[in-house]
Structure 1
Amino acid sequence: MSKSLISRRPVFRRGALSSADNNHQPSNSPLQALGWKPFFQQQLRLEELAECEPVKVMAVHRSQVEVTGDAGDEAILVNGPLFDDAAERPTVGDWLLLARQTRKPVRRLDRSSLFKRMAPGAKQAQLIAANVDNVLIVSSCNHDFNLSRVERYLALVREAGCRACLVLTKADLAANHDQYHEALKGHRDLPVVLVNALDTASVEPLREYCRSGETLALLGSSGVGKSTLLNSLAGSELAATSDIREDDSKGRHTTRHRALYTIPNGGLLLDSPGMRELGLADVREGLAATFADISALAEKCRFADCAHESEPGCAVQAAVESGELDERRLRNWRKLEREVARNSKTLAEARADDRALGQFYRAVQSHARAHKKRTD
């Protein structure tokens, strides 16, 4: 996906938001097709309606971001206060306000959802995408299928409050589909669709997740068929694809950066690089929702502070022994709980360090101003 995305998206006409006497967009508005909703409209101040226009971030590069909106496609240099804080800078899917005259970003609108991860060895969360409505968690019917990894993605998705669907690709190459349904019996509320990503008819059930005005994200490891699935949903070759290694079903990276694609008569699709390492932080609610059965069992334990190991009267261990609860699921819950606690602590410490550094800089500047005033 090394070529620019600008030529692949429609150029929108200017003027749909230039009038301040309407606080909503008509149903055929290009902005609505990009996901403009009352949630964002209500954040605009009166003066901003006349002086600014909203644009959607479609791709992020090292030196610029690609945006689109009522005026069409533009490239904005990554500089200025809006881009100073790595944890708050615009990411794919964000809405920005641009000054009509200077075309410079004024501010970023609040997000309806945000996906982020802790990269290996990082002390700061890496932003993945914002304002996503639906998520396809993509795995495949081969060695790549890993239920613990699916639960990791699911915790992230549910923390963001998005609708999730598990898509198992390469279904045409698997002789036994029952094993996957059996493995997923603990997630009966998670829709599961088996597809051949090369067959457009096979992916038709997924179109309800990418209606006009909605943003759909594809999350999964490299080589599971995300880019092929994206191309089938879009009806054209939007993303580069490559084969997997047959000996271990591991994939090669075909997507180099996160970007949004428009679908004819549909919404927006987010394609992202494979993320086999997806560190979790600040997803306690999502984790609780993903493992709601364990939380429900824990309430029946004899002791309120039960660690669910060898304590008497532990309802969780009793469920494992009776076969009601899969021991793998319990182990994965413990692992993710520890990881979330560790990464959340790291983020909290990093934020505290940033605040202390900011206070130091302000103190130095204040001292310099006071010294200059005395010597003048």
Structure 2
Amino acid sequence: MSSSFRSSHSSLDNSAFHTAEFNSSELNTSASSRPLAAYGWDDAWAAEFAPYAEQGLVPGRVVRVDRGQCDVVTADGTLRADTAFVTPHDPMRVICTGDWAAVEPVGDPRFVRTYLPRRTAFVRSTSSNRSEAQILAANVDHAIIAVSLAVELDLGRIERFLALAWESGAQPLVVLTKADLVPDPAGLSYLVQDVETTAPGVQVLPVSATTGEGVEILAAVVAGGTSVLLGQSGAGKSTLANALLGEEVMAVQAAREVDGKGRHTTTTRNLLVLPGGGVLIDTPGLRGVGLYDAESGVGQVFAEIEELAADCRFHDCAHLAEPGCAVLAAIEDGSLAERRLDSYRKLLRENQRIVAKTDARLRAEIRRDWKAKGAEGRANMQAKRGRLR
């Protein structure tokens, strides 16, 4: 046997050994993480985690976040971990419920060293004047927007939730809770249709945790992944969560009879395993639903307006008074509700203001646009005065 053949053969043996070693490591990681399958762990997450497994870290899903600490469920059970290594100044990068974390296997305290890149993230603008981002949940497949039928429907608020849901990358679902409070089937059908018009392409499901109406359908929808439960206080989120869990896990408080509003029963975001499959993240009631860089989400909520806008005479049509505006034509013939256009404009303006606070180039573009429109308005006024003389 020649030396060149031996060298080549040895190289192949080493390559095969390393390949076998890697495959064995991968299999061990996969096998040790099988208990996490109920929490959404899959082969894609295992592949993402492989470099951290080589460092001796273990995977786990964040089920609850406190100040500086979080609860992480691992293959060996739930542990409390310190987040000192994952608390950057950027609020978009802080760890949150739903993240897949790389955790130290031993230590007191144990530390979360990092988290895997998020597939989706539900983000809103904070209620502060700084308009910072706040991540409510990560790696979510379904965004369940709970809307109480105990009070008058606020279609504008539903549109806000939908814009954030579409922007997150999750599939929205509107659940009309407390359906038993609308005993008239025709009346309930009317309310469902009203919301369906507001939420094109989104399933709208009336549900009653009291009678069980719609609960099985909802459980089947959310069984295939991670769902986040969103809505105002008093929308019945905790009651709905208990109905899906099949037991009284979340505390429930009665809503006020005067306005149907409730107090914050849930104070933290908790990730819970559903008996029918899937996991649910229950969130505190949201008083403010501020947009945060959600232009594409707004466009998806108002898809019919964007489709109409494609037929406008001018590509930069503002749908105010321009000739050949297909959107205004739809308002005139009744095929588009004026409320929808007003809401569309409002959300786009709000989103633009939020983005402009962190985007200097966009701020400059907005100022130029204002100046151009001001100059155009002054020119039109002068021309009008000239004709009147």
**TM-score by structure 2 length?**
0.79
Matched, 1:117 2:132: no
Matched, 1:196 2:208: yes
Alignment of 1:118-157 (within 5 A): 118-120=125-127, 121-157=129-165
Q: State the 1:321 CA deviation.
A: 1.4
Q: State the 1:239 CA deviation.
A: 0.8
Matched, 1:84 2:92: no
Q: State the 1:75 CA deviation.
A: 0.6
Matched, 1:296 2:343: no
Which residue of 2 is the match for residue 35 of structure 1?
40
Structure 1 counterpart of 2:79, which letter?
Answer: E
8 Å CA contact 1:297–1:316 kept in 2: the answer is yes
Deviations 1:56-80 (A, max 9, x none): 0100111311110112111112323
Deviations 1:110-162 (A, max 9, x none): 00100111112233211101001112111021325211111111111111221
Whole-angstrom CA distance in 2 between matches of 1:314 and 1:113: 36
8 Å CA contact 2:144–2:175 kept in 1: the answer is yes
Deviations 1:89-116 (A, max 9, x none): 1100001111324442221110010011
Whole-angstrom CA distance in 2 between matches of 1:215 and 1:255: 19
8 Å CA contact 1:40–1:110 kept in 2: the answer is no
Q: State the 1:270 CA deviation.
A: 0.8
Q: State the 1:348 CA deviation.
A: 3.9
Which residue of 1 is the match for residue 7 of structure 2?
none
Q: State the 1:201 CA deviation.
A: 5.3
Alignment of 1:245-324 (within 5 A): 245-324=256-335
Whole-angstrom CA distance in 1 between matches of 2:304 and 2:298: 11
Whole-angstrom CA distance in 2 between matches of 1:27 and 1:50: 15
1:246 is paired with a residue whose SS is coil
Which residue of 1 is the match for residue 174 of structure 2?
166
Whole-angstrom CA distance in 2 between matches of 1:26 and 1:107: 22
8 Å CA contact 2:120–2:169 kept in 1: the answer is yes
Deviations 1:14-60 (A, max 9, x none): xxxxx614177469922111111233222234462461111101001
Whole-angstrom CA distance in 2 between matches of 1:323 and 1:95: 48
Whole-angstrom CA distance in 2 between matches of 1:166 and 1:117: 18
- The farther-off stretch of 290-299 and 263-272 is 263-272
Q: 1:215/1:42 Cα in 2 relative to 1: closer, same or farther (>3 Å)?
A: same
8 Å CA contact 1:171–1:195 kept in 2: the answer is yes
Q: 1:314/1:71 Cα in 2 relative to 1: closer, same or farther (>3 Å)?
A: same
Deviations 1:212-266 (A, max 9, x none): 6x21111111101100000000011111111112222222211111111122242
Structure 1 counterpart of 2:96, which letter?
Answer: T
2:242 maps to which of 213, 221, 231: 231
Higher relative contact order (CA 8 A, sep 6+): 1
Whole-angstrom CA distance in 2 between matches of 1:97 and 1:27: 14
Which residue of 2 is the match for residue 331 of structure 1?
342
8 Å CA contact 1:144–1:250 kept in 2: the answer is no
1:100 maps to which of 96, 105, 123: 105
2:322 is paired with a residue whose SS is coil
8 Å CA contact 1:23–1:41 kept in 2: the answer is no
Deviations 1:248-293 (A, max 9, x none): 2222211111111122242211110111311111212211111111
8 Å CA contact 2:72–2:80 kept in 1: the answer is yes
1:177 is paired with a residue whose SS is helix
Whole-angstrom CA distance in 2 between matches of 1:312 and 1:74: 64
Q: 1:38/1:28 Cα in 2 relative to 1: closer, same or farther (>3 Å)?
A: closer
2:191 maps to which of 162, 180, 202: 180
2:272 is paired with a residue whose SS is strand
Whole-angstrom CA distance in 1 between matches of 2:31 and 2:190: 48
Count of aligned pairs between the two proteins: 329
8 Å CA contact 1:125–1:347 kept in 2: the answer is no
Whole-angstrom CA distance in 2 between matches of 1:28 and 1:59: 19
Whole-angstrom CA distance in 1 between matches of 2:275 and 2:49: 29
Identity, % of aligned positions: 38
2:221 maps to which of 196, 209, 212: 209
8 Å CA contact 2:121–2:169 kept in 1: the answer is no
Whole-angstrom CA distance in 2 between matches of 1:257 and 1:329: 34
- The farther-off stretch of 189-198 and 199-208 is 199-208
8 Å CA contact 2:163–2:300 kept in 1: the answer is yes
8 Å CA contact 1:209–1:216 kept in 2: the answer is no
In structure 2, the gaps of 5 or more residues are 1-23, 361-389
Whole-angstrom CA distance in 1 between matches of 2:161 and 2:54: 38
Q: 1:312/1:21 Cα in 2 relative to 1: closer, same or farther (>3 Å)?
A: closer
